[in-house]
């Protein structure tokens, strides 16, 4: 992903748009190709990294790790590491992440309606 300078006009415009439009704010947090899918998978409960990878086979390891870190930084996902050998790491929706459940369900229902499933 290309880095955008913090003081660039493009970044300033993006920030202004996010502040002006609540939909842009949401899309900044959950937009992209994999974030909604990861959140959707976590709606059913905590999952280990390997479970997420198995449920989303098309995502690369790099992208899954990157998006999990971003979701964690945005306080939508909680990462829990247990002291064991090997370490056991699981991911679950935070309370804020859980509040997105109706949004994700609405998106899924809309997608099912459009695809005839």
Res. 2: pLDDT tops 60: no
pLDDT, averaged across the chain: 87
The pLDDT of residue 14 is: 64
Predicted confidence (pLDDT) per residue in 100-109, tens digit: 999 999 999 9
The encoded tokens of residue 110 equal: 């809309």
pLDDT digits (tens, 9 = 90+) for 55-94: 999 999 999 999 999 999 999 999 999 888 888 899 999 9
The residue length of the chain stands at 117
| Distance of alpha carbon 43 from alpha carbon 91, whole angstroms | 11
Please state the pTM of the whole predicted model: 0.80
Q: How many CB atoms lie within 10 A of CB 52?
A: 20
Domains and CATH numbers, the chain: 1-30 (no CATH), 35-115 (1.10.10.10)
pLDDT class of 41 with cuts at 50, 70, 90 = very high
| 8 Å CB contact between 61 and 25 | no
């Amino acid at each position: 992903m290309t880095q955008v300078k913090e003081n660039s006009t493009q970044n300033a415009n993006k920030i202004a748009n996010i502040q002006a439009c609540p939909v842009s704010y949401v899309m900044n947090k959950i937009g992209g190709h994999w974030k909604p899918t990861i959140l959707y998978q976590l709606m059913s409960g905590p999952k280990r990294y390997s479970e997420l990878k198995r449920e989303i086979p098309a995502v690369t390891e790099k992208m899954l790790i990157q998006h999990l870190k971003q979701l964690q930084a945005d306080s939508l996902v909680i990462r829990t590491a247990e002291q064991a050998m090997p370490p056991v790491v699981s991911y679950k929706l935070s309370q804020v992440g859980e509040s997105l459940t109706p949004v994700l369900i609405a998106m899924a229902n809309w997608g099912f309606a459009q695809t005839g499933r």
